[in-house]
Homo-oligomer: A and B are copies of this chain.
Amino acid sequence: MSLLAVGTVAFDDIETPFGRAEKVVGGAATYITLAASYFTDHLKIVSVIGDDFPQQELDFMASRGIDLDGLQVKEGEKSFFWAGKYHDNLNDRDTLDTQLNVLADFKPVLPDNYKDAEYLMLGNLTPSVQSEVIDQLNNRPKFIALDTMNFWMDTAMESLLQVLKKIDGLIINDEEARQLSGEHSLVKAAEVIHGMGPKHLVIKKGEHGALLFEGGKVFFAPALPLAEVFDPTGAGDTFAGGFMGYIARTGDLSFENMKRAVIYGSAMASFCVEKFGIERMKELNNKAINKRIARFVDLVNFDADIEL
C-alpha cells in the first residue's frame, strides 16, 4: 500500500572516530524511503533539492521504486547541507554547520496522484510544513506518523502541538519525549504525549533500543549489540522508514503488528550504522533483513519457566 514520505533530501559532511565523509547524500526523506523501499514499492517523496544534486543519486532512488514527482528541484539554488562530528562514544555529536539553502522557503506541493496516500511519514521539518502536507490530502490516511526535534519544541511549540492533534504515531527519542512531556519517567511521558493526540508513541533510545506505547500497553525492542558502529547518521530516520514500510506492507494496525514494525525498524537501523551515510542501505535484500530479524528474536528470546 502507498507510503508518502516528507522530509529533507540533502548533503552531509560526517566525521566519526572511524573517518570522514564529505558531501554524501543524506536527509530524512532519503533514509526513510530507502529503508521503506525494502517493504513496499508504492513510495512517494515530497521534498526539495537544488540543482547541485547528482542525477545518478536520483536515478538510484527511482530504481528503488521511489516516485520523485513530489521532489521539487530549484534551479540555481543549493540543496540543504549539514555537517556534524560525532564524539568517541558515538551517542553525542556536535553540529558544525547547517545551511538551509532550498529549505529556507520550502512550500510542499503534493502532486494529484499523491493525495490519496494511505500511509504518511512526516520526517523532521518545521511543524507548520508538516501540517500543510496533511491539509493537502484528499482523504485522511490510515496512519500518519511524525518525527520532530527539540529545536521545534523551543521555537514552534504551538504549531507542533497543532500538528500532533492530527497524527496517529509520534516517533521521537528519549530526550525529546522528556522535553515534550516535562516528565523524566518515559512511562509518565507516554501518558502526557498520548493526551496531546498521538495514540501510538515510539521512543527511540539509540543503542538502548526502543519503546512502543499504546494506551496502557508497552513493548520494548532491543538494539542489536554491535562491535562496530561506523556512523549513526540517519539511524533514526531509517528506523522510521522500516517501521512505516512494514506497516504499509502489512496494512495491519494491531498492537501485535506494531511490535513487529518496531523490530523491523530496529533491524533496518542496525544496518544503517554499519557504513557511512546511506551506503549500507543501498545493498540490502530480503534474505539479509530476515537473518537480521532472526538475530533480534534470539537476542531477547527466553523460556520463562513460571507457573502463575
Q: Could you tell me which A residues sit within 8 Å of B by CB distance?
A: 88-90, 184-188, 205, 208-209, 211, 218-222, 225-229, 256, 259-260, 263, 287, 290-291, 293-294, 296-297, 299-300, 302-308
Can you offer 11 A-B residue contacts whose CB atoms are under 8 A?
A185-B227, A185-B229, A187-B227, A188-B227, A208-B209, A209-B222, A218-B299, A220-B225, A260-B302, A263-B304, A290-B308
Among A205, A225, A303, the one with the most B-chain Cβ atoms within 10 Å of its Cβ is: A225
Contacts of A208 in B (CB 8 A): 205, 208-209
Contact, CB under 8 Å: B305 / A291: no
Question: How far is it, in angstroms, between the C-alpha of A88 and the C-alpha of B185 when the chains are bound?
Answer: 11
Contacts of A299 in B (CB 8 A): 218-220
Question: How far is it, in angstroms, between the C-alpha of A259 and the C-alpha of B303 when the chains are bound?
Answer: 9
Question: How far is it, in angstroms, between the C-alpha of A225 and the C-alpha of B303 when the chains are bound?
Answer: 21
Question: How far is it, in angstroms, between the C-alpha of A90 and the C-alpha of B259 when the chains are bound?
Answer: 28
Contact, CB under 8 Å: B290 / A256: no
CB-based nearest B residue for A213 = B225
Contacts of A205 in B (CB 8 A): 208
How many copies of this chain sit in the oligomeric assembly?
A: 2
Question: How far is it, in angstroms, between the C-alpha of A225 and the C-alpha of B213 when the chains are bound?
Answer: 11
Closest Cβ of chain B: how far from A40's Cβ, in Å? 16
Contact, CB under 8 Å: B211 / A225: yes
Question: How far is it, in angstroms, between the C-alpha of A8 and the C-alpha of B238 when the chains are bound?
Answer: 47
Contacts of A184 in B (CB 8 A): 88-90
Among A188, A219, A221, A304, the one with the most B-chain Cβ atoms within 10 Å of its Cβ is: A304
Question: How far is it, in angstroms, between the C-alpha of A229 and the C-alpha of B299 when the chains are bound?
Answer: 26
Contact, CB under 8 Å: B229 / A225: no
Closest Cβ of chain B: how far from A255's Cβ, in Å? 10
CB-based nearest B residue for A185 = B227
Contact, CB under 8 Å: B302 / A290: no
Question: How far is it, in angstroms, between the C-alpha of A184 and the C-alpha of B205 when the chains are bound?
Answer: 17
Closest Cβ of chain B: how far from A92's Cβ, in Å? 12
Question: How far is it, in angstroms, between the C-alpha of A308 and the C-alpha of B289 when the chains are bound?
Answer: 10
Question: How far is it, in angstroms, between the C-alpha of A308 and the C-alpha of B228 when the chains are bound?
Answer: 25
Question: How far is it, in angstroms, between the C-alpha of A221 and the C-alpha of B219 when the chains are bound?
Answer: 13
Question: How far is it, in angstroms, between the C-alpha of A302 and the C-alpha of B296 when the chains are bound?
Answer: 10
Contact, CB under 8 Å: A220 / B300: yes
Contact, CB under 8 Å: B222 / A222: yes
